[in-house]
Amino acid sequence: MRRSCSVSEPDLHRALVLGVLGAAVVTAAALMLITAPYGRHGRPGWGPALPARLGWILMESPAVVLFASVFAHGAHRAEAAPLVLLALWQVHYVQRTVIYPLRMRGGRPMPVLIVALALGFNSVNAYVNARWISELGAYPTSWLADPRLIAGALVFAAGFVINLRADATLRALRAPGASETGAGRYQIPRGGLYERVSCPNYLGELLEWTGWALATWSLAGLSFAVYTAANLVPRALANHRWYHATFADYPAARRAVIPWVL
């Protein structure tokens, strides 16, 4: 007797979404114990490393290229609501994958291990979200007038602006051609949301993917928002501790990532 064990695509998709949620729990637990070894927390013993620019471009590229390709294979690829969601996603990821690395100043080499882990996550996440918006989610055009889409897009846009401004403040702290090592490599960022938190770039990122979860009103979107928090909240806490340990005059009232709260 022949047995068929075919898995439907919605089942596979749901399994991957649950996998992302499971990975978020593991990631948060691991990052509370071990700070990811890149940037200011870079240290020897994590294997070969790539130039930071190349690392960022490589590890983020599935979020642009694979996402666009999966989106283009969906039955709803030419409909208005999926196209608006595609635009939100790509505005963020073209910036992060191409513009951010090309403009960065003096980023430290990135371990291949970090690049490989991020590449794997971004590939799964690109499939999960692109497939949802252009095929499985089946958003009608009326979704464009839904308060969840409108509120989500506004939260996303606010997060995007906060993230861009915060990254620009850090970039401005590094004069062109500044030394890769030594004193003066890092300074206390000031102005705007830096007066409230140590990592407004992560706050912006958290708002963006919370907005995405709202705008897509999906478990796929929610899983990415949860994963982003699992990744960035422990890092924000580590950066905050690092600022206090590095600068004796670090502003005491500043929180790590959520103004007045955390």
Ligand X SMILES: NC(=O)c1ccc[n+]([C@@H]2O[C@H](COP(=O)([O-])OP(=O)(O)OC[C@H]3O[C@@H](n4cnc5c(N)ncnc54)[C@H](OP(=O)(O)O)[C@@H]3O)[C@@H](O)[C@H]2O)c1
Q: Does 254 bind ligand X (CB under 6 A)?
A: no
Residues 6+ apart with CB under 8 A from 81: 139, 140, 141, 143, 144, 149
Among residue numbers 59 through 118, which ones bind ligand X (CB under 6 A)?
Answer: 104, 106-108
Q: State which of positions 30-59 bind ligand X (CB under 6 A).
A: 39-40, 52
Closest to ligand X by CB, 85 or 236: 236
Residue 143 or 209: the one with the smaller Cβ distance to ligand X is: 209
* Binding residue for ligand X, selected from 77, 174, 196, 244, defined by CB under 6 A: 174
Long-range contacts of 249-257 (CB under 8 A, 24+ apart): 249/188, 250/188, 251/188, 251/195, 254/194, 254/195, 254/196, 254/197, 254/198, 255/196, 255/197, 255/198, 256/197, 256/198, 256/199, 257/197, 257/198, 257/199, 257/202, 257/203, 257/206, 257/232, 257/233
Q: Does residue 232 touch ligand X according to CB under 6 A?
A: yes
Q: Interface with ligand X includes 201 (CB under 6 A)? A: yes
**Whose Cβ is closer to ligand X: residue 80's or residue 98's?**
98
189 binds ligand X per the rule CB under 6 A? yes
- Residues of this chain that interact with ligand X (CB under 6 A) are 39-40, 52, 104, 106-108, 163, 167, 170, 173-174, 186-187, 189, 201-202, 205, 228, 231-232
